[in-house]
Amino acid sequence: MANTVRRLAVAALAGLVVAALAACGSGGEGPNPSPALVPGAAPNGRLTIGIPFDQPGIGLKDGTSYRGFDVETATYVAKALGVPESNITWKETTGAAREQLLASGQVDLVFSTYSITDPRKQVVDFAGPYFLAHQDLLVRRNETEITGPDTLNGKDLCSVPGTTSAANVIQRYLGRIRLKEFPRFSDCVQALADSQVDAVTTDDVILAGYAAEPHYRGQLKVVGKGFSDESYGVGIRKGNTALRDQVNAALKQYVADGSWRRALGITVEPSGYRIPDPPNPGTA
């Protein structure tokens, strides 16, 4: 009887070990678990994906590695399309280059805080949205005069050409604001830290990442008065509806299985940014 009990206990323990190993191997605890393939996905494919290289928490190149929410999202979607991370080629995209990179076929997808707008829909297709941000302002920590866009009269404001942030300022505030444009937001942020401009404008989630960077920590702050809604979509070459539908299916899965929230938890939330409710992919 004792031997029988002992054998049952050993068998039960072995079963628990196997189950634990299986759970560890599933990837379910990480930000990018191995997702189910979407319909039509072909395993072991390849993708070239455009991301920002200089946005902390969103898309940042660090030596030969890449990190940030757009990177996590792109990696998950690629896996759902049958493309392992090792088969992704990352390409830097700046605000003004995104449409051209897609149209020329230099990239297959763009994950680059790419706000969905009607004018852009005339040039590219979008999957998503996969995040909702708001345009805001980044200022120096001791700034007291600038409390929102209506207090920028006569100030030097920095943004990046080809972005909705720059377009919003030109349309709504130019004439009262001196707009300076640099190729990258990292250039704008450095100019702000060096007192060459009075504020930087782009989406709040991007600004929060810069403010939390060790190099700028304690020097800069986000005003916290958003004045637009920016729905992020995945840029796809115009007319490729099959790929768009596959990416939408992957994004829906990304939100449903908890990976969307986990990815934000390790990339964006440490900056102190308040995570919004998940979007409804497929409504772009």
- Using CA atoms, how far residue 107 sits from 75, 228, 245, 257, 281, in Å, is 15, 28, 18, 27, 21
pLDDT in tens, the chain (284 residues): 444 334 433 343 333 333 333 333 333 344 556 899 999 998 999 999 999 999 999 999 999 999 999 999 999 999 999 999 999 999 999 888 999 999 999 999 999 999 999 999 999 999 999 999 999 999 999 999 999 988 999 999 999 999 999 888 888 887 889 999 999 999 999 999 999 999 999 999 999 999 999 999 999 999 999 999 999 999 999 999 999 999 999 999 999 999 999 999 999 999 999 999 999 999 99
pLDDT of residue 32: 58
pTM: 0.86
pLDDT of residue 96: 82
pLDDT of residue 31: 57
Q: Write the burial class of residue 141 (CB in 10 Å: 0-12 exposed, 13-18 middle, 19+ buried).
A: exposed
Q: Which residues contact 69 (CB under 8 A, 6 or more apart)?
A: 57, 58, 59, 131, 205, 263, 264, 267, 268
pLDDT of residue 24: 36
Q: Which residues of 203-234 are buried (b: 16+ CB within 10 A; e: fewer)?
A: bbbbbbbbbbbeebeeebbbbebbbbebbbbb
The whole-angstrom separation of Cα 94 and Cα 106 is 14
What domains are there in the chain, each with its CATH number? Answer: 47-133+231-271 (3.40.190.10), 135-222 (3.40.190.10)
pLDDT of residue 126: 98
pLDDT of residue 187: 97
Residue with tokens 């009887």: 1
Residue 104 structure tokens: 């020329």
pLDDT of residue 33: 64
The whole-angstrom separation of Cα 156 and Cα 2 is 83
The whole-angstrom separation of Cα 79 and Cα 108 is 14
The whole-angstrom separation of Cα 257 and Cα 83 is 19
The whole-angstrom separation of Cα 83 and Cα 105 is 18
